[in-house]
């Protein structure tokens, strides 16, 4: 439009609308300016006093002034030897108002507008506003909102200003009715769509947005489809076209993906080349592909990464490994040659820490597994980053390795951290079917004064327990990483409210414990605790407890020595998807205690990844306790219990096991032997949901008076479905279980849940 107007003005000038003879300009005067200064106009004029103005130069003057975008009209006139430049300024933008936008924030839109020159105080250009409307519509289309409507209005204000209003009616996200794949022969459509983030509306769509169309997520799914074929030998696979059809009401979309599979290729010869700084046999073991098997792009990538990591462990931190394929379409084979260029060995000159305004340098340095003066190892850097992230002191941890100027074989390691609050005060309420209403409050400082020590004061209250405790832990009591902790506590327990034998205890005590890291995954723990226990009875306390009190009294001073071992390779603590966690603990009431006994507890959990985010959990637990000296067994208040949401679901909490022989209580007495096991298939309802897991599970377990009473035929079992949801008020665990094997006097409880408790 601007070009047409400019040409029209030039035509009027050249065609005689302003007829004149070329002349020498003695002066230049600008008329019609309001905000723009005369000097600004002079800067853009391609003419100056003393120049001869002719038709060609006049055209250039008009063109340059229109090009500035400041004016909506420019005319040239002559008064004697004076050139008159008469302009009409475009209005300036006084304000920009946005309304109706939710998916795209007002701040983001205004930033984008400013980048293209549409901002408050700038010159208003209607053509730019039209482009803004089109771009907003395009962005909403990418988010699946095809019913979006963008309307802009321009209101004139005094002093040649305008107010711009942009009103957005977003509409609803178009939902997917169907995704069709055309051209697939080797795999069914269901197999190909299983890993897609997008999908038609289903029973779990309420928890996710998988049925809401998004151009970006479709692009991700197309790459997933491409990887699926490439990992199964179809190296010539291609997506020929993708169509997204929108229903007339713009509420639903149909997606059609046309593909060409090509032929299936196998692996031919595998060779290693270049400079092999590691024994070739070791490197070949890292290649998980064998001649004759189906080609897999992901296995090739895995082999490249494994070889690179192995070479970097020798100090060649910047090694370059390339997989060079050789295709034989006649034999449908891919031969691979892994070419290794190790580069030079690189040493670390200095480790620099920055960003830790509160945390002391030594707290950061003690987590570093890369040492100054040593060979640079990427694996050690990655391990250092993970250890720093697990501290919880920092929001971000960045590690860079810039080269030392003038030294080709040295680098510095720059560790940059962004601190976050490591102290917290929390208070909350929750509910558990086993413990009833829960009230808790805690004050925790995990990085006290930047020293890395942890201090905690906790108060918990439920219908089963009232607990007051204080603890202090120094994770680096010694420079070698030995931890030391202290605790003191007071606990009142009403066991009858936990569905077990009715008795009361008041316990107070304290202790000290140490942790000795054996390596990155193994920790040995030992400690010594003192507990004073006052055992009280009620009218319905079983005779077994009465007999124990008659023989041993009702007050006990116990010194517990504990030894433990923890093996943990999980990738994270909440919703882990891979790894193993084993825990073994031995607790012994040593001589000098009122009661002498011991307890052994063994717990195992194994997480096996299935697909991208699904996991199989295998778990098992065996606990045993017995007496020492004249004590025939552990005290009854130290017995094991099982049943409920934390062990064998479908049975009432703590209800399994032997019951009172005297008949004064139909509740479980617990036992000295507990065994529990289970298998779970955990999966998110959609690929983009990280706060929710669904589960299919089977549980088995029971409690026995001793090993001689163990009978596999008396194990209780159940199966069902479950849900674990990380809600704003805590972790919600919900399960519905159907007993598989049970007896008529068992207390069944198919629907169980807890909320506000840790997972």
Range of the domain at 446: 423-757
Distance of CA 148 to the CA centre of its chain: 31
Burial per residue of 205-219, b for 16 or more beta-carbon CB atoms within 10 angstroms, e otherwise: bebbbbbbbbeebbe
Number of domains in the chain: 6
Asked if residue 563 and residue 430 are part of one domain, the reply reads yes
Same domain, 65 and 198: no
In the predicted model, what is the mean pLDDT of residues 311-334?
Answer: 89
Percent of the chain residues past pLDDT 90, beyond the cut: 29
What pairs with residue 723 in β-bridges?
694, 734
Same-domain status, 455 and 407: no
Q: How many helices (H) and strands (E) does the chain have?
A: 12, 35
Strands (E), 436-503: 436-445, 454-461, 465-474, 483-494
Same domain, 163 and 294: no
8 A C-beta contact, residue 374 and residue 421: no
Same domain, residue pair 632 and 534: yes
CA distance 105 to 101: 7
Q: Residue 323: its pLDDT value, please?
A: 92
Q: Which of 310, 341, 372 is the last residue of a domain?
A: 341
Give 297's DSSP letter.
H
Residue-wise pLDDT tens digits, 136-174: 888 888 777 888 888 888 888 888 888 888 888 887 777
Same domain for 688 and 609 = yes
Supply the DSSP symbol for 635: -
Handedness of CA 22, 24, 26, 29 (dihedral sign): positive
Same domain, 621 and 570: yes
Q: Do 54 and 27 sit in the same domain of this protein?
A: yes
Q: What is the pLDDT of residue 188?
A: 92
Do 577 and 648 fall into the same domain?
A: yes
φ, ψ for residue 667, nearest 5 deg: -95, 165
Burial profile 61-82: b = 16 or more Cβ within 10 angstroms, e = fewer: bbbebbebbbbbebbbeeeeee
Whether 689 and 197 have beta carbons less than 8 Å apart is answered as no
Q: Are residues 145 and 196 in the same domain?
A: no
CATH number of the domain residue 126 falls in: 3.10.20.310
For residue 268, what pLDDT band results from cuts at 50, 70 and 90? very high
Q: Are residues 541 and 575 in the same domain?
A: yes
Q: Cα(71)–Cα(62) distance, rounded to whole angstroms?
A: 11
Task: Please say if the pLDDT value at position 661 is more than 70.
Answer: no
Give the Cα separation of 532 and 559 in Å (integer): 9
CB hemisphere CA count around 749 (13 angstroms): 20
For 329-361, write each residue's pLDDT tens digit: 989 999 999 999 988 888 899 999 998 888 888
pTM: 0.60
> Contact, 148 vs 140, CB < 8 A?
yes
pLDDT of residue 408: 81
Picking from 89, 118, 151, the residue at the C-terminal end of a domain is 89
**What are the backbone dihedrals phi and psi of residue 553, each rounded to the nearest 5 degrees, phi first?**
85, 180
d(CA 554, CA 617): 42
User: Tens digit of pLDDT for each residue in 563-576?
Assistant: 999 998 887 766 77
Task: Report which of residues 204 and 171 the model is more confident about.
Answer: 171
Residue 506 DSSP class: E
Q: How far apart are CA 567 and CA 729, in angstroms?
A: 31
**Domain limit, last residue, from 399, 419, 439:** 419
Based on the fold, state whether residues 642 and 613 are members of the same structural domain: yes
**pLDDT tens profile 206-255:** 555 677 888 888 898 999 999 999 999 999 999 999 998 888 888 888 99
For 375, counting Cβ atoms within 10 Å of its Cβ (0-12 exposed, 13-18 middle, 19+ buried), the class is: middle
Distances (CA, A) of 160 to 32, 33, 41, 85: 12, 11, 18, 19
Residue 609, classed as helix, strand or coil, is strand
- What CATH number does residue 720 fall under? 2.40.160.50
């Amino acid at each position: 439009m601007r070009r047409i107007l400019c040409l029209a003005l030039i035509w009027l000038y050249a065609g005689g609308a302003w007829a004149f003879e070329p002349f020498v300009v003695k002066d230049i005067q600008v008329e019609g300016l309001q905000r723009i200064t005369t000097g600004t106009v002079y800067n853009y004029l391609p003419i100056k006093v003393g120049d001869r103005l002719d038709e060609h130069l006049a055209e250039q003057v008009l063109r340059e002034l229109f090009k500035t975008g400041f004016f909506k009209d420019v005319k040239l006139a002559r008064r004697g030897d004076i050139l008159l430049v008469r302009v009409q300024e475009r209005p300036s933008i006084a304000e920009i108002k946005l309304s109706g936008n939710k998916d795209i924030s007002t701040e983001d839109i205004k930033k984008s507008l400013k980048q293209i020159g549409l901002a408050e105080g700038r010159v208003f250009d209607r053509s730019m506003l039209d482009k803004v409307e089109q771009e907003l519509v395009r962005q909403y289309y990418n988010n699946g909102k095809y019913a979006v409507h963008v309307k802009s209005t321009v209101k004139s204000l005094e002093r040649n200003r305008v107010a711009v209003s942009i009103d957005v009616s977003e509409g609803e996200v178009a939902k997917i009715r169907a995704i069709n794949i055309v051209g697939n022969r080797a795999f069914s459509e269901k197999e190909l769509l299983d890993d897609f983030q997008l999908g038609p509306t289903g029973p779990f769509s309420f928890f996710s947005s998988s049925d809401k169309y998004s151009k970006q997520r479709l692009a991700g799914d197309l790459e997933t489809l491409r990887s699926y074929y490439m990992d199964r030998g179809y190296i010539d696979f291609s997506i020929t076209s993708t169509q997204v059809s929108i229903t007339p009401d713009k509420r639903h979309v149909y997606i059609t993906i046309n593909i060409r599979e090509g032929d299936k290729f196998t692996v031919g010869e595998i060779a290693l080349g270049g400079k092999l700084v590691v024994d070739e046999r070791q490197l070949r073991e890292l290649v998980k592909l064998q001649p004759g098997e189906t080609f897999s792009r992901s296995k090739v990538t895995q082999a490249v990464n494994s070889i690179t990591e192995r070479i970097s462990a020798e100090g060649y931190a910047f090694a370059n490994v390339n997989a060079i394929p050789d295709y034989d379409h006649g034999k449908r084979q891919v031969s691979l040659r892994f070419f290794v260029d190790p580069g030079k060995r690189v040493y670390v000159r200095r480790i620099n820490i920055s960003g830790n305004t509160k945390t002391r340098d030594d707290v950061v340095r003690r987590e570093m597994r890369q040492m100054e003066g040593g060979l640079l190892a990427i694996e050690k850097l990655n391990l250092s980053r993970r250890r720093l992230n697990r501290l919880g002191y920092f929001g971000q941890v960045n590690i860079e390795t810039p080269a030392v100027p003038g030294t080709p074989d040295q680098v510095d390691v720059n560790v940059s951290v962004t601190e976050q609050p490591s102290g917290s005060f929390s208070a909350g309420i929750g509910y558990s079917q086993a413990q009833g209403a829960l009230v808790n409050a805690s004050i925790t400082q995990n990085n006290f004064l930047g020293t890395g020590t942890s201090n905690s004061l906790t108060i918990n209250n439920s219908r089963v327990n009232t607990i007051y405790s204080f603890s202090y832990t120094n994770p680096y009591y010694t420079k070698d990483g030995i931890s030391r902790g202290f605790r003191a506590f007071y606990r009142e327990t009403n066991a009858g409210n936990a569905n077990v034998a009715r008795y009361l205890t008041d316990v107070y005590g304290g202790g000290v414990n140490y942790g000795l890291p054996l390596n990155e995954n193994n920790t040995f723990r030992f400690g010594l605790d003192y507990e004073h226990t006052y055992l009280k009875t009620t009218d319905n306390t079983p005779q077994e407890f009465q007999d124990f009190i008659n023989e041993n009294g009702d007050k006990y001073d116990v010194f517990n020595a504990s030894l433990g071992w923890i093996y943990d390779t999980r990738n994270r603590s909440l919703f882990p998807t891979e790894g193993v966690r084993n825990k073994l603990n031995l607790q012994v009431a040593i001589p000098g205690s009122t009661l002498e006994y011991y307890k052994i507890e063994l717990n195992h959990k194994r997480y096996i990844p299935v697909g991208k985010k699904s996991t199989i959990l295998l778990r098992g637990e065996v606990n045993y306790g017995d007496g020492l000296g004249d004590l025939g067994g552990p005290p009854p208040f130290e017995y094991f219990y099982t049943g409920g949401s934390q062990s064998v679901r479908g049975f009432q909490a703590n209800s399994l096991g032997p019951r009172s022989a005297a008949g004064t209580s139909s509740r479980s007495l617990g036992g000295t032997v507990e065994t529990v096991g289970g298998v779970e298939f955990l999966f998110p309802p959609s690929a983009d949901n990280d706060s929710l897991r669904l589960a299919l599970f089977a549980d088995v377990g029971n409690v026995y008076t001793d090993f001689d009473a163990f009978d596999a035929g008396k194990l209780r079992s159940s199966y069902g479905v479950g849900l674990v949801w990380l809600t704003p008020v805590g972790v919600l665990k919900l399960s519905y279980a159907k007993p598989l094997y049970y007896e008529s006097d068992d207390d069944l409880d198919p629907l169980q849940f807890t909320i506000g408790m840790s997972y």
